[in-house]
Amino acid sequence: MTDTKQKTDTYLVTGGRRKEWSHGVVNPPVYRASTCLFETYAELRERCADPSAKKLFYGRKGTPTQWSLEEAITELEGGTGTMLYPSGIAAITGAILACVKAGDHILITDSAYEPTRTFANGLLRQMGIETTYYDPMVGAGIEELFRENTSLVVTEAPGSLTFEVQDLPAIIAAAKKRDLYVITDNTWATPLLLNPLTMGADISVHACTKYIGGHSDIMLGSATANKRTFKALQRTAYQLGQTCSPDDAFLASRGLRTLGVRLKAHEENALKVAAWLRERPEVATVLHPAFEECPGHEVWARDFAGSSGLFSIVLKGGDYADTAALVDDMKLFKMGFSWGGYESLILPSDPNGSRSATSWDAPGPLVRLHIGLEDTDDLIADLEAGLERYAAHIGAKD
Ligand SMILES: *Cc1c(COP(=O)(O)O)cnc(C)c1O
């Protein structure tokens, strides 16, 4: 374990830094390109022969800036190859499309990132692909949901908003028996805390927009596939015309270099804040995979190398309208949809809007928190004042 960890930390520094791409500078430069020039007809024909080879061919197929990031993510995830996309959701939809055809049936966890559901209920349905949502805690029981035409299982661990940790080895084992594809949205864990491909999944997806970029200033997605799936993933991305700007790829590569230290700090800060919240009278539950009250905590402890900075709390009493008293006057925790940057964020969010296989029954509103790199005493003081406002607001109504 220590050995692997050490290699990972080293690889975060050196990964994807091929001399022929970087020409001796530490960071591979930003190559902006549409047209690539060929000197001879023979050269043109050679490069056209395999447009997926990492040789300059046409801007849409990438340049050393993108290839360097792809190579680093592939190595960190233990895959065969990585495709980059203009956003995390583009990576998810591109990965799903690589695994399905008209008439198929697929399974998606009920705790999935909401836009993944929107895609399944929209375009996929329109293309004749039917989706069944399943209980994220289903484990080996997923087998009972398989049909003759099931082709794919989409997992996300832990779940967006509600943080159920899925038993990926059990789900993957069941899927393998039927030769189904398994995709994991691995955004929360980053390639450092979980490697779904080494557990047998076929594609691991990241919203690089989050921790890999790490500075809240890019939109980017990646999908890393194993040997059996990479060709289909690549073909699909090419046909869809998916690509990303070299500037964003450069920023993501730069973010990746410090992911190890940033993630450690996010983890430590989040654990401190979560432990404090757990003792608060206004808080009913802390949904953090490292705490035993989080569904799937044992699975997290078994499979993950640690935790990141994103978790939720369920408040006691009140409703979503009351959360305004908490969130409106925060000094450090501002509201925002993305996360994974260095700043702390707070977001009241009702999971009921994006569930169908399971129901969300909670004693009060759910509030998602991203713990950034600020001083935890300051973060706790901000939350303390907010929770007091929330309690006073509810008390005043009684
Ligand atoms: C943010 C997010 C995405 C989508 O990423 P974008 O870059 O915003 O499209 C996908 N999955 C999870 C779990 C996310 O949090």
Please check whether residues 271 and 179 belong to one and the same domain: no
For residues 134 and 145, the answer to whether their CB atoms sit within 8 Å is yes
Please check whether residues 190 and 268 belong to one and the same domain: no
- The residue with tokens 């076929």 is 202
Q: Is residue 3 part of a domain?
A: no
Determine the 3-state secondary structure of 32 from DSSP. Answer: coil
Instruction: State the virtual CA torsion across 198, 200, 205, 208 in degrees, nearest 10.
Output: -10
Q: Rounded distance, CA 176 to CA 179, Å? A: 5
Please check whether residues 204 and 279 belong to one and the same domain: no
- On average, the pLDDT of the chain sits at 95
Please check whether residues 238 and 264 belong to one and the same domain: no
Q: Which of 200, 225, 257 is the last residue of a domain?
A: 257
Active site residue 60: yes
Model confidence band, residue 6 (pLDDT cutoffs 50, 70, 90):
low
Please check whether residues 36 and 170 belong to one and the same domain: yes
Tell whether the model's pLDDT for residue 237 goes beyond 60. Answer: yes
pLDDT tens sequence across 140-151: 999 999 999 999
Per the structure block, which two tokens stand in for 161? 């908003």
For residues 314 and 362, the answer to whether their CB atoms sit within 8 Å is yes
Q: Is residue 2 part of a domain?
A: no
Ligand 1 close to Cβ of residue 209 (< 6 A) = yes
Active site residue 389: no
State residue 54's pLDDT score.
Answer: 87
- The residue with tokens 């993510």 is 73
Q: Rounded distance, CA 53 to CA 390, Å? A: 57
Q: Which of 227, 257, 287 is the last residue of a domain?
A: 257
Please check whether residues 55 and 203 belong to one and the same domain: yes
Q: Are strands 345-348 and 105-109 parallel, antiparallel or unpaired?
A: unpaired
Please check whether residues 12 and 79 belong to one and the same domain: yes
Q: Is residue 128 part of a domain?
A: yes
Q: Quick count: other Cβ atoms within 10 Å of Cβ 200?
A: 15
Please check whether residues 48 and 121 belong to one and the same domain: yes
Average pLDDT of 15-34? 93
Annotated active-site residue in 210, 257, 262, 389: 210
Domain carrying residue 342: 259-397
Per the structure block, which two tokens stand in for 7? 């290699």
Closest of 137, 162, 169 to residue 303, by C-alpha:
169
Average pLDDT of 290-319? 97
For residues 98 and 233, the answer to whether their CB atoms sit within 8 Å is yes
Please check whether residues 243 and 333 belong to one and the same domain: no
Ligand 1 close to Cβ of residue 91 (< 6 A) = no
Please check whether residues 226 and 287 belong to one and the same domain: no
Annotated active-site residue in 104, 110, 167, 185: 185
Question: HSE-up of 359 (CA within 13 Å, CB side)?
Answer: 2
CATH number (domain holding residue 158)? 3.40.640.10
CATH number (domain holding residue 274)? 3.90.1150.10
Per the structure block, which two tokens stand in for 355? 């569930």
Please check whether residues 75 and 217 belong to one and the same domain: yes
Ligand 1 close to Cβ of residue 185 (< 6 A) = yes
| Ligand 1 midpoint to CA 266 (Å) | 18
Tell whether the model's pLDDT for residue 372 goes beyond 90. Answer: yes
Annotated active-site residue in 31, 113, 133, 211: 113
Is this model's pTM higher than 0.95 or not? Answer: yes
Ligand 1 close to Cβ of residue 88 (< 6 A) = yes
